[in-house]
Amino acid sequence: MNEESYMEKCISLAKLSEKKDEVPVGAILVFENKILFESHNSPVEKKDPTAHAEINVIRSACNEENNYRLKNYILYTTLEPCIMCIGAICEARIEKVFFGAYATNKENFSNKIKFYKRNNYIDHLPKFTGGILEKECSSIIKNFFQRKRG
């Protein structure tokens, strides 16, 4: 599979969270070219502000692997990870992160990563690549908030 195929899976997971009136974000963890863990946003359902799609897959993987490190895993998510999720991704030692939509734009994401790296002691920072099926991922989020507000 390629990045777009993995992102399509994330999009289908985001649509599941949207049906539950959650912000539509989906995430998967891939190891050796196989999707091993998948989740979507569920803070409302779980009454847990940390239940973002990325945190959910990291928790599942760590429990299953019986390890808090996920070396050689690749994370895919429909939306640029927030600072909380970036912290968890770094602590888990995830190798690479591919995401679809930027929260604002590529430059702001780059500045967020630079700020995080400069102002926090971190042993590991994965390679981040954004913009995978960006238009599709972005439209899911935009449409969700337009319906909520309108």
| Residues known to be catalytic | 54
For the chain, the DSSP string reads --HHHHHHHHHHHHHHHHHTTS---EEEEEETTEEEEEEE--HHHHT-TT--HHHHHHHHHHHHHTSS--TT-EEEEEE---HHHHHHHHHHT-SEEEEEE-SS-HHHHHHHHHHHHHHS--S---EEE--TTHHHHHHHHHHHHHHHH-
Q: How far apart are CA 28 and CA 34, in angstroms?
A: 10
Residue with tokens 């009136």: 21
